[in-house]
């Protein structure tokens, strides 16, 4: 089965929806299905590769159909015409059996793909903060008329989505990568997030660990580094 997964968020950037899409793609591929992710990107190399794929009529695991544009629940700006053309070309050349759009309540690739595709259509709603589009009821009804299945990742999400997009929802949690998060051998290790304004906390942990024989401390920096961070003294 050929399946197209469409995300509104830049594939080149970390995002919870993209993580979920990647997990769905991997699981479906393990069952033998052929999966293509269609997404925007902020990376020039991705855009070039996506354009080359479309020009050659080839298939790819990921097709970047245009640059990323900011999307939020307040967004009303439409997808650029050139990106819409690339999306139509990707859907047409892909000959997909099913198109699965994530967060179609945003003015985005997902909304357009589900509205315009001739394949079976599935919509997944992830966040209650992304349900503001389209503003007109007639437009929402048109989208709902195209959908063959509705998915929400939680019961509260289903309740929120039903207010804007009424229908028969199936609640499916995002799940966990059992291989990636499999229990590992326990270690005597403490991980401390290193924040510039909380070095006193790290210093306190380092001081306390000196009293614990055999324990290690890992200072974790979760934001991009522009230089070597200062390590607090115990």
Neighbours of 190 (CB within 10 A): 15
Instruction: Name the β-bridge partners of 51.
Output: none
Tokens of 36: 């293509």
pTM strictly above 0.85: no
Distance CA 6, CA 114 (A): 9
Contact (CB, 8 A) for 220 and 193 = yes
Instruction: Name the β-bridge partners of 171.
Output: 152
Domain spans in the chain, listed from the N-terminal domain onward: 2-171, 184-234
Contact (CB, 8 A) for 126 and 154 = no
Distance CA 78, CA 109 (A): 10
The tens place of each residue's pLDDT in the chain, 234 residues long, gives 999 999 999 999 989 999 999 999 999 999 999 999 999 999 999 999 999 999 999 999 999 999 987 765 555 557 889 999 999 999 999 999 999 999 999 999 999 999 999 999 999 999 999 999 998 999 999 999 999 999 999 999 999 999 999 999 999 988 777 777 788 788 888 888 877 777 788 888 888 888 888 888 888 877 665 556 566 565
Instruction: Name the β-bridge partners of 150.
Output: 123, 169
Q: In this predicted structure, what is the pLDDT of residue 12?
A: 93
Distance CA 204, CA 20 (A): 37
- Exposed, middle or buried by CB within 10 Å (0-12, 13-18, 19+), for 188? exposed
Q: Class of 2-171 per CATH?
A: alpha beta
Tokens of 179: 């291989």
């Amino acid at each position: 089965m050929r399946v197209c997964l469409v995300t509104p968020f830049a594939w080149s950037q970390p995002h919870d929806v993209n993580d979920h899409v990647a997990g769905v793609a991997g699981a479906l591929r393990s069952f033998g299905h052929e999966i293509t992710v269609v997404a925007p990107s902020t990376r020039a190399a991705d855009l070039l590769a996506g354009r080359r794929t479309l020009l050659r009529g080839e298939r790819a695991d990921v097709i970047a159909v245009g640059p990323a544009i900011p999307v939020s629940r307040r967004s009303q700006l439409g997808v650029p015409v050139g990106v819409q053309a690339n999306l139509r070309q990707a859907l047409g050349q892909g000959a997909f059996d099913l198109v699965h759009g994530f967060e179609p309540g945003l003015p985005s690739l997902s909304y357009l793909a589900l509205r315009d595709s001739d394949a079976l259509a599935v919509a997944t709603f992830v966040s209650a903060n992304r349900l503001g589009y389209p503003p007109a009821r007639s437009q929402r009804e048109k989208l709902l008329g195209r959908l063959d299945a509705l998915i929400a990742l939680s019961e509260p999400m289903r309740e929120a989505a039903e207010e804007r997009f009424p229908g028969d929802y199936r609640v499916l949690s995002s799940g966990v990568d059992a291989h990636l998060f499999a229990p590992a051998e326990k270690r005597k290790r403490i991980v401390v997030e290193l924040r510039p304004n909380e070095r006193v906390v790290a210093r306190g942990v380092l001081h306390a660990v000196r009293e614990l024989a055999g324990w290690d401390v890992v200072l974790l920096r979760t934001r991009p580094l522009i230089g070597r961070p200062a390590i607090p003294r115990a």
